[in-house]
A = this chain, B = another copy of it.
């Protein structure tokens, strides 16, 4: 399938952004949610900052102390056998050995980036949403935005020692905001809320991750008020021997087309290579799957997609469809933001919907 990658990619890089936390450096500006507001394209940018570390024998973890509301740093010796430091993103407990983590090596929050042309962005110097309270002590990650009427619902993973759940805020102007609490309990992430009611109900895709049984797959849930969710159903699973055999999750907020709801989702294989694919869901009942791509629409190929803090990742949290062109904003290698375009018709052909 023909995909145009913007030749000036990446469009936002960590070097472009000044750190907000004293003694920290910006290591990631990625996985941004997307909205159109007045004459601007807005990115809700995930910014990851890491404690500056000049000692190669140490590893540092960062978190917010919910009692003081201050960022704190904990230092680990790389030789400490109690911990596993093999994943650049996390510090794991070597005693538990169940794959769970104990700390993150960076802390993420959300800044706003604004653009008139959708390609050149200026990033605000301060956070728009910063971790608050005990459920966000390890940071907030991967925001998506659903515009419903004149309200923008922004929701993201709240990460803490208690788990990873989906937290929501709402805003009308990207300046003032109101908290809506945790809308999906742990472990859940990769939530996307459909931008309108369907047969009288709101719907959301989401991605539970279970301890006892079950793979990281996409579920669908319904709501009356966007705050409380239920009637949870399993929607779509992994595929053996394909690019999405490791984990899948919703990506961009679903796009309404004449053929169905187009969902640009992410799939990773067992070696954690993340690609972007497409699903088409029934317009009147999004729990019905009309089509699913066999191959990815976008796979890591360019240097900025293959190399970075966590390489071989393309990951979208938002796309805009205008004049039948899909404008895709996507995070690359947990490091930067990139931009691509393709024709809506081409995607529909690619997933065999004509």
Contact = CB atoms under 8 A, between A and B. Distances in A.
A159 B213 contact: yes
Given A228-B224, A230-B229, A234-B134, A186 B163 contact: no
Q: Which residue, of A134, A160, A211, A233, has the highest number of chain B Cβ atoms within 10 A?
A: A211
A329 interface: no
Interface in A198-222: 206, 208-217, 219, 221-222
A214 B161 contact: yes
Nearest to A97: B97
A189 to B, nearest CB: 9
Contacts of A234: 134-135, 162-163
Q: How many copies does the complex hold?
A: 2
Nearest to A202: B228
Contact of A182 (B97, B184, B224, B231): B231
Given A222-B228, A230-B229, A213 B163 contact: yes
A38 B65 CA distance: 52
Contacts of A102: 213
Nearest to A183: B230
A187 B163 contact: no
A83 to B, nearest CB: 14
A247 to B, nearest CB: 10
A31 B85 CA distance: 42
A185 interface: yes
A228 B98 CA distance: 31
A1 interface: no
B230 A211 contact: no
A187 B161 contact: no
Contact of A214 (B182, B186, B216): B186
Interface string A22-56: 00000000000000000000000000000000000
Given A163-B213, A213-B100, A181 B230 contact: yes
Contact of A163 (B162, B164, B210, B229): B210
Interface in A217-243: 217, 219, 221-225, 227-234, 237
A193 to B, nearest CB: 13
A159 B212 CA distance: 10
A230 B227 contact: yes
Interface string A253-291: 000000000000000000000000000000000000000
Nearest to A211: B209
B98 A163 contact: no
B228 A185 contact: no
A221 to B, nearest CB: 7
6 contacts: A99-B212, A101-B212, A164-B212, A164-B214, A182-B231, A185-B219
